Amino acid sequence: GIGNQSSAVGLSAVIVALVFIGFTGVLLVIDLDRPERFYYVLIRPQWRSWLTRGAYIITGYSILLTLWAVADIFGVTGFRDYLHWPIIVFAVLTAIYTGFLFAQAKGRDFWQDPALVLQMLIHAVSAGSAALLLLSLMLPSIGFDRTLLARTLLGGLIVSALVLAFELGTSHPTQDAERAKNSIARGLFAPLTWLGVAGVGLLFPILLISIGSSLLVMIAAVMTLAGLFLHEHIWVRAPQLIPLS
């Protein structure tokens, strides 16, 4: 109910979410040791594993998104509106469950940081608003929501910058976590971190959105997505390069 959000924005967001949830599902299956047995995750669940929980979260989210899209297309607005809060809950869970999955990799101390979950949630807000801003170039029906989307993106970028400063500016409890942080802030990944993540992905988009030009906001959206890609790449790779013994 904030701003002038239209049905077109909602349907566009749902379709984008379904497309990328589909990509996520394919990648998760491919990543299994025995991809042909992926359905075992659902029919023989190990509930202590966030891989299983994530599979059910993604499945539930996909079902809710599909129901919302069908209800919107056929004009069943009452039923569609009842789905808003369940979809929000599952959207949040989908955005953050990987943080808990990483935390189960006990040998990678850097992934035990509780800020990782918050980081993933804020990244989802930034990525979603950036994607919808770019989509509005092709769908004029979304155009009048650009101000709200730009403000949402700006807020997400500011919070992301604060979380990044906290993660790289504070000490971590173990030596391995500190080594991973140092490789990000001052070592192998430092150029990508400061030029790519902090510069291209955060500082420049914040400045461009603050200026307010529509063209600059679109450029900021592209830069945001590029910065998020680099951020995820670094946060996945850096801890894996720390020897386990």
The backbone torsions φ and ψ at residue 78, rounded to the nearest 5 degrees and listed phi first, read: -60, -50
What are the contacts of 23-32 at 24+ separation with CB within 8 A?
24/58, 25/58, 25/62, 28/54, 28/55, 28/58
229 pLDDT band (50/70/90 cuts)? very high
Which pTM does this prediction carry? 0.88
Q: Which residue has the tokens 């979380």?
A: 163
6 pLDDT band (50/70/90 cuts)? low
Scored b (16 or more CB within 10 A) or e, 88-126 reads eebbbbbbbbbbbebbeeeebbbbbbeebbbbbbbbbbb
Q: Are 184 and 168 in contact (CB under 8 A)?
A: yes
The 10s digit of each residue's pLDDT in 113-129 is 888 999 999 999 999 99
- Compute the residue count for the chain: 245
68 pLDDT band (50/70/90 cuts)? very high
Of residues 157 and 50, the one with the higher pLDDT is 157
The 10s digit of each residue's pLDDT in 169-182 is 888 888 999 999 99
The 10s digit of each residue's pLDDT in 179-190 is 999 999 999 999
What letter does residue 45 receive in the DSSP assignment?
A: -
